[in-house]
Every structure is written in C-alpha cells, then in structure tokens.
Structure 1
Amino acid sequence: MQRYSRTAIFLHWAIAALLAFQIAVGWALEDLGARGFSLFQLHKSIGISILALTLARIVLRYWKPRPASVEGGWQGALAKAVHGGLYIFMLGAPLTGWALVSTAKVKVPTLIFGAIPLPHLPLPMSVNDPAHGAHAILAWIGIALFALHVAGALRHHFLMGDGLLWRMMPVRSPVLLAALPALVAAGFLLGRVILPAPAPKAVAAATVPAAIEEEAPANVAEAADNAANAAAPASADNAAAAEEVAGPPPSWTVRPGGNIGFSVDNGGEAINGGFSKWTAKIAMDPDHPESADIRVEIDLASASVGDSYKDGMLAGDEFFGVAAHPKAVFTAKGAEKAGTNGYRASGTLNLKGVSKPQSIRFTLSGTGKARKVSGSATIARASFGVGNGESSAGLAPNVAVSFDFNAVTE
C-alpha cells in the first residue's frame, strides 16, 4: 500500500497531538480566570503553530499528492468530506482565535512561546462577538470530525483489514502503530494534567469595598448640606460638640452577599468587573462618625471582568502586579457626615506598593444593629501605576467603584 511522504506523516501526527492538547485545555480555559493566563498564552501559541503546520501540509499536498482513495461510493465521499472539514477546522479555529485576541477591548500583546510577537489583525471591534461564536462552534465541530476521522481509520484497518493505517507510518512497524496514536492520547492527557487545580471556594465573608477615591471638590448636594449645617443654630452645634461618645464604637460584621464592582471607560465602551475576595474590620458609631476605624484588605488576584484572558492581564504587572503586591489595603480613622444618612471617610489606600490619601462616600440605611451600606468612589489609576502599558492606552484615567453590603453588630 502506497504511503504518504515522511514529511506528510510527521505533519499529520504533530497536528493531531497538538489538536488533542488544545481540545483538553480549551474545555477549561473559560473557568480558570486569572489562574489560566499563562495557559491561555500557551493555547494561543499552539493554535498559531497548528495554523502554520496546516498551511505547510496544504502546500505539501500540491507538491507531493496524497495516495489514491481506497474506497468509493458514499463512504468515500464521506471520508473526503471529513478530511475537508478537518482542514476548515484546522485553519478556522486558529484564525477566529486570532480575531478574538485582535478585537478584544483590552489589547493583550501575544508572544508566540514567549518569544515571537504576533501582530493584531486589522479588524473592527464589531468582529469580536461573531469571532467568539465561530471559535466555539468550530471547536465542537472539530471534535466531532476528529472522532469520525479516528473511527473511519480504525474501521478500515481492523474491521475491513485493508491496513489503511500503514499509509500514515514511516515504516511498517507494530511499535509505531501503537506509539503514534499513543502520542495523540498523550497530548490530550498532558492538556488535562497541566490545568491548574480548582480554586477553593471563597468563603462568603466580608467583602467590603475598597471604593476609595481621590479628594475631589464637593458636589452640589454636599454643598447644600454644608450650607444647611452652617445655618443651624449655634446652640445645636455646641450641644452636639458637647455630647460625649459613651464607650468604644461598636464593631460591625459584614454579611455574605455583598458586592464591590469597578468600571472604566475604554474608547467609549465600559469595562465592568469586580473583586470576589476581600475582608474588612469596621468599628463605627453612626451617631458619632468621628469614631470610625476602618481597615479593608482586597485580594487583587480575585479581580475579574468576566473574561479569563483579560483577568490574566489584570493580575500582570501592567495592572495590579499581583505577584509582588497581592493585596490592596485601605485604612481610615474617623468619618464625617455628608448629608442625610451620608458619610465620607478619608484615609489611605496602599495599592501596588504606592500609598496615597483617598476617600470613600457611603450611605447607611436601616436602624439598630443591622444596616445596609452602599457607596461609590473614584480611583485615579495612574497614581498607583495601574494600567501602565501599551494595552491600556484607551483606558480612562479614573476608575469608578461602587459597593453595597449588609452589616450587623452585637
């Protein structure tokens, strides 16, 4: 039986092993978040490698034509359709992935195996959603075609006994007949083995906002409140000043289910995200806000914008630099009234190794030992070196932060 050329045989098994690896990894990438960033980069590198090898194989087919088909009729037509579909998959999956990277809101530089820069395709942002859908559909179609191709080869070689697999072996060797398919299986197993372990479920604990903003001019509402306070009778001010706080302020426990989110404009489109892991120690008497003592710690690795690729960028040095600075810490001693049920706490934010004065605004609703807290703030990201690279060129200078949670005291 006529064999394929040695080059074609090498390309066939190399592409098959890489595809098996991609299939194993691709299933899990969306759920890995920031932990999957390096694996995502490897996924891109292997995808482009498959694209290059497939183009080489297409060129080789015209240079050294493949052996004649061993079966006609509808079975032969089906085999040709599967082969054609596999080529579409091997070209289309990497190209749609490349389009995805090129049209992402946050432009992430791609280095093939950490060494060769891959330019972004000159495509409009509107291509991103169709590319995402096509990439996912092609992946499932590719898996189906992969399975049909394997089933057809096994049918011919073992059920029909025509030795079809020998055409894809450099020599007629039972060892190679077992070893080369095993190489493909090894590619799949390797893809599963190198996946990061599942992240431990975050304890639904205090997730207090690090919603810390730079000092800014008071808004109209706050100015009106200040004017009203200034017009109050002097006797009331004196009475308030004379009133003493009875004992230390109560400590508050943040209940599960709180939320902290952030939003930043990127060329006219908002990038929205949040932190899933944070803790806080809060002591404050709402009637005497000057008694407040606040400390908030945020696990920066928990930042997410709902896209594992972009989440990996957030953890990198261009944004949060999680490896060197895993936490952001906000502390404040004392707060002040800022309108009805409103407060303002000025303190210090330590982010990415930089400490600067910041403040948060919040309101309290409810009475007694249970309160609902909601608020907002603005962070000037450049002051902390957040977004300091080429991919951040389109980001607005200020990041809006919002938060809400429930707290109780004994």
Structure 2
Amino acid sequence: MPQRYSIAAIILHWAIAALLAFQIAVGWALEDLGARGFDLFQLHKSVGITILALTLLRIAVRYWKPRPPAKEGGWQGGLASAVHFGLYAFMLAAPLTGWALVSTAKVKVPTLIFGVIPLPHLPVPASAHEVFEGSHGLIAWIGIALFLLHVAGALRHHLLLRDGLLWRMAPGRSQLWLVALPALILIGFLAGRAIVPTGAPPAPAPVAQDLDMGNDAANMAEAQNAAVAADGDNAAANASDDAEEETGEPPAWAVQPGGAIRFSVGNDGETISGAFSKWTAQIVMDPARPESADLSVTIDMTSASVGDAYKDGMLPGDEFFATAAHPTATFTAKGAQETSPGRYSANGTLTLKGVSKPQSIRFSLSGDGATRRVRGIASIARAAFGVGNGESSGSLAPQVAVTFDFTARRKD
C-alpha cells in the first residue's frame, strides 16, 4: 500500500481546509454586520456550496484511489477514525443546512454561485426554517471542534510520535511543504477576517430628498432671462406662444428618449441606489399656468434594478414590490403650483403595491419654446405602501428618495 495520499486527495484536502478556515472567519462576523454584511453573506453561500462540491469529489477520490494504512490501532485509532468521519459529516451537513436555511427564509434571496451560477432553492417546508437555522449554527461549532481535534492529532503524530504522518498529505518530503501547506489554513482565515468590515458604518451618501433645487431653478431662470434679453425676436415669439397657451388648451408634452427615474434609500449607514428602466408619462401643462397641469406617470416595477443580481432578485418579492400582483405603480396629479421662478410642486396620488396615498413632488423646468428639461424629486414613506416589510428590511431608512430627469417636447 502506498505511504502517501494521491495528488488529487492532497490538493482537495488542503483546498477544503483553507476554505473552511475562511468560512469560520467570515461566519463569526456575519450576524453583527447587519445590512453591511449582505455581499459577504452571498460570498459565504458561494464558498459553502464550493466546499460541498469539493467534499463530494474528495469522497469519490477516497474510494477511487488507494489510501495509506492507518498509523494507529486501539482506542486512539478509533478516535482518529471518528474524527475523520465527523469531519466528512460536517463538510456535508454545514453547507446543506445553510442551503436549506436560505431556501426556507421568508425573503427569497436568490443564490448565484460567485454571482454567476444560479442555485435553486431546496424543496423543503418553510416551517422548518428555525430548525435549519439552529442546526447550522450548532454544526458550525461542532465542525470547529473537530477541525481542532484533527490538527491536534496530526501534530501529535508528527511531533511526539515522530511517525511522519504529515508526509502522507504532502506531495514531497521537503520541509517547505510542511510550512507552506498548513500556511494555507492561516491564509484562508486571515483572508476571511480581512474582508470583514470593521469600525462604524460609513456615513450615508446624500440622498435625493436632501437636494435643494432652489439654486438650480434660479440659475435656470437667470439663464432664460439672459437669453431673452440677448434675442428680442425670440422673446417676442415665445411671448406670443405663451399668450396663445393662456387663451387655449394647455399643451401636451411627449417625453423624449434618454430620461431616467431613479431611487435611493439609506441602509445601515450606506445608500442603495437604483433605477426603473421602463416607464411612461402623459403630461399636459402650460408652464405659465401651472394650475392647468394634468400629470400621469406609470412605472413598470419589474424593471427596477440596483445593479446587484442578489438584491435585484429580491425586489419582485412580496417584501418589496410584489410585482406578480402589482406590476405597475402610478402617480397622477391635477394642477401644480409655481413656488419660485421655474420651480413647481404638485400634489397628487401615488398607487404602489395596491395602496393609494397622497404624494407630492417638486420639479423644475428649464429651456423655452417647444422643448423643456424636467428635473424633480419626491420623498416616499415606504412603510405606507408596505415596501420593505420583512426581516431583511429592518435597517432601511423610512424614506425612499425618487428623482426624475428627462426632456419633454411639446406636441403639435
């Protein structure tokens, strides 16, 4: 029988050991990070599934390639065999209970292995969530104990019994291997600790509801006045257009391609920002007579994205937008008020997730004649619409900032 494990077994052994050390370092920190640990949690899942796959491969290699005979018999040999069996059980059970834990959670967070390969949820009952949650934590601590016992046993053989046990798990009899290979475990642990956020959460980035468009509106009005003073003929023509609008029906405006509706919300010291890629707007308004405004905006809620595959997979769920039952949101308003030159406000109704509530918006207009640029903001109380009503939303700020920026052209 050979006195050394196969190269395949050696590679898998040390790779799994390094990944387990990484998981231990990360797992200790996850519960205390809150929302800041979202991306780290996704990585933790990916590494866990990788360990599961490598363990299955390691078991196959164990029975495919011959193994060195046991070094010791009696109760010591029996204990070593029990530790080995326990480690294999741990390397299978830990990722499987973690997978089941995610599969039974109220919030269905999609699992993408390293952000690329989708992993389906296990067909297990949601009522077992607490069982899997408790089991996963207990198994982790048992695994740490087995890990330490395994290391202690290997060191006993190599340093006290001097039977060369460690050489069986090295590709050659060089002291360099005895330093480099165990160092992989330390590197894995330190890498896990290094990517864990430390210190206080960063200050949240400014969100849209903090913006003051007063200066922008004043600057727009100033630029318009300068343009009018420089070109009397255009000013006269525009005045004529305004006079026609005052005496006739207010004009309708067509939104031009390239506009955007964005949203942002504070999240445990950070800011989550996203946008809706599909929306339409019907606008009727004479800027000189804002009370004539008739506004209607329809947003395709399935088009929401924050630029992260995991978070995007959560948005259509019941905790957030419930797009299966409520695929669109609408805002309508009759009339607007000019609050300062070029700056307006409108009070209307927002219907989101099947709930209709009063909602106000602020916006500014720049440009003149047949083309205007529209920029605006709104602050939405998400709880009133049942957005972010689950456990994973506890750290979200109560107000969601929405901004819009587009160009509209007057219809003939």
TM-score, length of structure 2 as denominator length: 0.54
Mark the CA change 1:380 to 1:182 in structure 2 (over 3 Å): closer, same or farther: closer
Q: 1:300 is matched with which residue?
A: 266
Amino acid at match of 1:197: T
Shift of 1:35: 1.2
Mark the CA change 1:172 to 1:126 in structure 2 (over 3 Å): closer, same or farther: same
Which whole-Å CA distance do the structure 1 matches of 2:192 and 2:27 have between them?
A: 9
* Larger mean Cα displacement after TM superposition, 64-73 or 130-139: 64-73
Mark the CA change 1:345 to 1:190 in structure 2 (over 3 Å): closer, same or farther: same
The 5-angstrom pairing of residues 292-331 of structure 1 reads: 300-302=266-268, 316-317=311-312
Segments of 4+ moved more than 3 angstroms: 313-320, 344-350, 353-358
Q: Secondary structure at the match of 1:108?
A: coil
RMSD: 3.9
Shift of 1:302: 2.7
Shift of 1:348: 5.0
Matched, 1:378 2:380: no
1:253-283: CA deviation from partner (whole Å, max 9, x where unpaired): xxxxxxxxxxxxxxxxxxxxxxxxxxxxxxx
Amino acid at match of 1:301: N
Matched, 1:182 2:148: no
Q: 1:168 is matched with which residue?
A: 169
Kindly indicate which of the two structures has a greater share of residues assigned to helix: 2
Q: 2:247 is matched with which residue?
A: none
Mark the CA change 1:33 to 1:45 in structure 2 (over 3 Å): closer, same or farther: same
Quick check: 2:35–2:267 contact (8 Å CA) kept in 1? yes
Which whole-Å CA distance do the structure 2 matches of 1:354 and 1:378 have between them?
A: 22
Quick check: 2:202–2:269 contact (8 Å CA) kept in 1? no
- Number of residues paired by the alignment? 251
Quick check: 1:348–1:356 contact (8 Å CA) kept in 2? yes
Quick check: 1:110–1:119 contact (8 Å CA) kept in 2? yes
Mark the CA change 1:101 to 1:156 in structure 2 (over 3 Å): closer, same or farther: same
Q: 2:198 is matched with which residue?
A: 197
Which whole-Å CA distance do the structure 2 matches of 1:31 and 1:132 have between them?
A: 16
Which whole-Å CA distance do the structure 2 matches of 1:118 and 1:54 have between them?
A: 18
Matched, 1:98 2:99: yes
1:119-157: CA deviation from partner (whole Å, max 9, x where unpaired): 111111012111111100000000000000000000000
Which whole-Å CA distance do the structure 2 matches of 1:70 and 1:349 have between them?
A: 78
Q: Secondary structure at the match of 1:71?
A: coil
Shift of 1:378: 2.1
Mark the CA change 1:354 to 1:22 in structure 2 (over 3 Å): closer, same or farther: farther
Mark the CA change 1:122 to 1:82 in structure 2 (over 3 Å): closer, same or farther: same
Q: Secondary structure at the match of 1:66?
A: coil
Shift of 1:314: 12
The 5-angstrom pairing of residues 22-171 of structure 1 reads: 22-171=23-172
Mark the CA change 1:380 to 1:98 in structure 2 (over 3 Å): closer, same or farther: closer
Shift of 1:200: 4.3
Mark the CA change 1:125 to 1:176 in structure 2 (over 3 Å): closer, same or farther: same
Q: Secondary structure at the match of 2:171?
A: coil
Which whole-Å CA distance do the structure 1 matches of 2:310 and 2:110 have between them?
A: 15
Q: 1:241 is matched with which residue?
A: none
Amino acid at match of 2:172: V
Which whole-Å CA distance do the structure 1 matches of 2:309 and 2:61 have between them?
A: 42
Amino acid at match of 1:59: A
Q: 1:8 is matched with which residue?
A: 9
TM-score, length of structure 1 as denominator length: 0.54
Which whole-Å CA distance do the structure 2 matches of 1:13 and 1:349 have between them?
A: 60
Rg larger for: 2
Structure 2: gaps spanning 5 or more residues? 204-263, 271-307, 316-344, 346-356, 364-374, 391-397, 400-412
Quick check: 2:109–2:314 contact (8 Å CA) kept in 1? no
1:290-339: CA deviation from partner (whole Å, max 9, x where unpaired): xxxxxxxx9621399xxxxxxxx99945678xxxxxxxxxxxx9xxxxxx
Mark the CA change 1:349 to 1:120 in structure 2 (over 3 Å): closer, same or farther: farther
